[in-house]
Structure 1
């Protein structure tokens, strides 16, 4: 995660360059580090100011000048005999790291330098770990703190300092009552902090969740607090770490929301981010027969599975519909979900609004029925015929039976439109009886169309069409006003999925025209009877 180059400089006016180079070339450089070794016969400030490790192996040197050149964190090693070292120590005071007494072997220089490199690596890893930790906790909007076993704060994040109005330096090492500006007697009473929570975490030795109230510079605050024990290498608890999420605003909103919920004309359910139901209103109880205290704590998905089995997803995102029984009557509810976010834009729950749309759906169904249906006969109309075929035909074979009543105009002229209407309605019922599974359309006037999707032999179609003719004749002859009516029928088929609907319709009309030419009251199949 990091890389650092270290400059090792050796000041040696003696002819021992080979000694030092051979000693240091045997170094095993730790991962993340690289070294550059230079042996200098005389001091050079431009070079020494970049030293990370400076080894002085000189009989005489200007200690003050060298100290002025060295970086703050540079390692300084002194080499020499006992007399030289004593003099150097007196001159430098404590501004050196190690003393290597002459004489020593190459292996000694290698081993000691190796150890210094390991120390530098450890220090850099410690620094970067601390930096990672500080950056991480300061990026968290929640309050984060670490305490020792006595309850003193060892480390806190920026959000914590913002909440208490103090700096990190001021907080470090201090206890709770000082940090939160509580009097010791208030702290001891535990009026605004839960003293038992720390003890519980230390006793249970596991992460615990608490609801805590704390007096802050912004007044009384409500927190959801997670506290965990921190263990040492021996398994003993060293202290605790805590993360507190400020839910004060959400709690205040919840109070206001409760008033709004109970006054709403819709059934409303509130669930938390885990999908657990936490609240409902009076209208909800009216619809579903479950009071708030009974449904609270239930898993929303389980409740939905038990009571809302017939939920239909709508095209618009977030909307569902279901039918329920209320006082023995079916009611249709539209259920809409709205997410609930906290002050940090974190999802903390969901609001489910159940609005009764029974009347609306009945009106929609009626409007749709009227738009698709012939008012007189109740059959499908011409417009819906094209819509239905576009949605359902696909690659299926299609057969059409075109029916036209013979003598219908004469009945209208002789007995009036009431008799004509009676004939149309009677014909529609007979068609539904003879073709219960097929799509029947009133094209207009006294013209009807029976459409069959799927394989069907022409001989079968003719047989069924003739049976319809017989039924119509029998019914017409039973009425004095309608006994002169008969029906001409034209049949057309196509197994070509590319064939246009209007093409098949025109062919069935041509077959019908052929039936009328042959004397009416007949049935002709397009192609066979031409």
Structure 2
């Protein structure tokens, strides 16, 4: 993929050694351009990628480094390496024998080229890996065995508002802006899933909530354990899709689909979906409600007043039946569904209290003062009674309440069913 053109300078080497080096074929993706000189005075080594020189070439190691630059690979050929000073050793990358035979020079040069290729390949892999993960819109991170972060991508940095340099080697609590105490509590910090991945020994998928400086984030994560060459656990790699906004939007759409826009109660459509499921496995008590004189309010004061009355009534409904399923069926009709072991006596007590609350609310506003509510109650005797049956019974009982004078409740009986027929 890459192309590496090497300028190789040989200074002061015997012809046999120079010939050996010149005979080596370049490795894949590499080309060689070799310059040969007897001494430094005859050649400018400033553009060298590799500089192999003999100590007797007339210039010391430190000066050679100055001439070649810091990026060049500088190798000195001398037999008295043990006598070199610390500065002289620091100025070169390697020390070869002072006298190089053809085979020795070729062996050392081939080894050098392989090392350079390994470094170049490692650089390329580093570049490709970082480029790939930085291109991803998902968060990507690599952790050590103790939870320290060693590599992250740009998307990760953008979420936590920190640089890669600042993140490297740091723990979760620092990166996400938590205190050590919050981290130790273990809530919303992914501790459990890290342990799960380690124990599973394979890639695992999670839906996680992560607390950060900007609040709670919802993530779908894939985590994979990493092992060293001995097969020992050395950390994890994680990929996470931040679905916070998507989930909030999904919940918003779901709520819009399930609730009545005006009152915030469940709507008729969702009523049949939710309550039909409940009716199949639970005993339900249905209270079917209809506002009295609501049409007169709309005709006299307009639909805005009617809407205000409906919103207020819905609030009273929720306050009085917080554990029930509360539904606006449409217009001025509402349903309250109670679940479980509800007795007729307890229903009467709740409805008596509810009627008082409704009267109190409507009496506060002059234009609402003529409103009241009629309620029909269908007591499901057992689980499995179809929802349509219960709703019909509640509706029939509600009309009995209206015929009996309004502002009251009636319990459904079989006599009402016969009269309805």
Which band: TM-score by shorter chain?
0.5 to 0.7
2:319 is matched with: none
What per-residue deviation string (whole Å, max 9, x for no partner) do you get for residues 434-456 of structure 1?
Answer: xxxxxxxxxxxxxxxxxxxxxxx
Q: Check the 8 A contact 2:152/2:164 in 1, yes or no.
A: yes
Q: CA deviation at 1:61?
A: 1.3
Looking at structure 1, the residues matched to 214 and 144 of structure 2 have their Cα atoms a distance apart, in angstroms, of: 27
2:120 is matched with: 124
Aligned: 1:262 with 2:258: yes
Cα gap change, 1:224 to 1:53, in 2 (>3 Å): same
Looking at structure 2, the residues matched to 33 and 64 of structure 1 have their Cα atoms a distance apart, in angstroms, of: 29
Report SS of the residue matched to 2:90: coil
Q: Check the 8 A contact 1:7/1:37 in 2, yes or no.
A: yes
2:312 is matched with: none
Q: CA deviation at 1:286?
A: 5.2
1:382-397 aligned within 5 A: none
What per-residue deviation string (whole Å, max 9, x for no partner) do you get for residues 415-436 of structure 1?
Answer: xxxxxxxxxxxxxxxxxxxxxx
Aligned: 1:214 with 2:214: no
Cα gap change, 1:252 to 1:107, in 2 (>3 Å): same
What per-residue deviation string (whole Å, max 9, x for no partner) do you get for residues 490-515 of structure 1?
Answer: xxxxxxxxxxxxxxxxxxxxxxxxxx
Aligned length: 275
Q: Check the 8 A contact 1:55/1:77 in 2, yes or no.
A: yes
Q: CA deviation at 1:171?
A: 0.7
1:30-429 aligned within 5 A: 30-43=27-40, 47-59=44-56, 60-82=58-80, 85=81, 89=85, 92-263=88-259, 283=269, 291=277
Q: Check the 8 A contact 1:52/1:71 in 2, yes or no.
A: no
Cα gap change, 1:287 to 1:88, in 2 (>3 Å): closer
Q: CA deviation at 1:4?
A: 0.3
2:399 is matched with: none
Q: CA deviation at 1:45?
A: 8.8
Looking at structure 2, the residues matched to 71 and 161 of structure 1 have their Cα atoms a distance apart, in angstroms, of: 35
Looking at structure 2, the residues matched to 86 and 92 of structure 1 have their Cα atoms a distance apart, in angstroms, of: 11
What per-residue deviation string (whole Å, max 9, x for no partner) do you get for residues 320-371 of structure 1?
Answer: xxxxxxxxxxxxxxxxxxxxxxxxxxxxxxxxxxxxxxxxxxxxxxxxxxxx
2:10 is matched with: 10
Larger Rg: 1 or 2?
1
Looking at structure 2, the residues matched to 192 and 91 of structure 1 have their Cα atoms a distance apart, in angstroms, of: 53
Q: CA deviation at 1:282?
A: 5.7
Cα gap change, 1:197 to 1:44, in 2 (>3 Å): farther
Q: CA deviation at 1:63?
A: 4.2
**Which stretch of structure 1 is more off in the superposition, 209-218 or 63-72?**
63-72
Looking at structure 1, the residues matched to 78 and 190 of structure 2 have their Cα atoms a distance apart, in angstroms, of: 63
Looking at structure 1, the residues matched to 278 and 130 of structure 2 have their Cα atoms a distance apart, in angstroms, of: 44
What per-residue deviation string (whole Å, max 9, x for no partner) do you get for residues 360-390 of structure 1?
Answer: xxxxxxxxxxxxxxxxxxxxxxxxxxxxxxx
Looking at structure 1, the residues matched to 271 and 43 of structure 2 have their Cα atoms a distance apart, in angstroms, of: 84
Q: Check the 8 A contact 2:37/2:43 in 1, yes or no.
A: no
How large is the Cα RMSD of the aligned pairs? Answer: 2.9
- Identify unmatched segments of 5+ residues in structure 1: 266-279, 295-530
Q: CA deviation at 1:2?
A: 0.9
- Identify unmatched segments of 5+ residues in structure 2: 281-421
Looking at structure 2, the residues matched to 46 and 112 of structure 1 have their Cα atoms a distance apart, in angstroms, of: 23
Q: CA deviation at 1:168?
A: 0.8
Q: CA deviation at 1:199?
A: 0.4
Q: CA deviation at 1:222?
A: 1.1
Looking at structure 2, the residues matched to 244 and 34 of structure 1 have their Cα atoms a distance apart, in angstroms, of: 42
2:291 is matched with: none
Report SS of the residue matched to 1:229: strand
What per-residue deviation string (whole Å, max 9, x for no partner) do you get for residues 31-71 of structure 1?
Answer: 11111222112326974112111111242215444222223
Looking at structure 2, the residues matched to 112 and 186 of structure 1 have their Cα atoms a distance apart, in angstroms, of: 57
Cα gap change, 1:7 to 1:46, in 2 (>3 Å): same
Looking at structure 2, the residues matched to 293 and 20 of structure 1 have their Cα atoms a distance apart, in angstroms, of: 94
Cα gap change, 1:191 to 1:173, in 2 (>3 Å): same
Q: CA deviation at 1:25?
A: 2.9
Looking at structure 1, the residues matched to 100 and 156 of structure 2 have their Cα atoms a distance apart, in angstroms, of: 54
Cα gap change, 1:149 to 1:249, in 2 (>3 Å): same
Q: Check the 8 A contact 2:258/2:270 in 1, yes or no.
A: no
Cα gap change, 1:8 to 1:132, in 2 (>3 Å): same
1:464 is matched with: none
What per-residue deviation string (whole Å, max 9, x for no partner) do you get for residues 453-508 of structure 1?
Answer: xxxxxxxxxxxxxxxxxxxxxxxxxxxxxxxxxxxxxxxxxxxxxxxxxxxxxxxx
1:422-441 aligned within 5 A: none
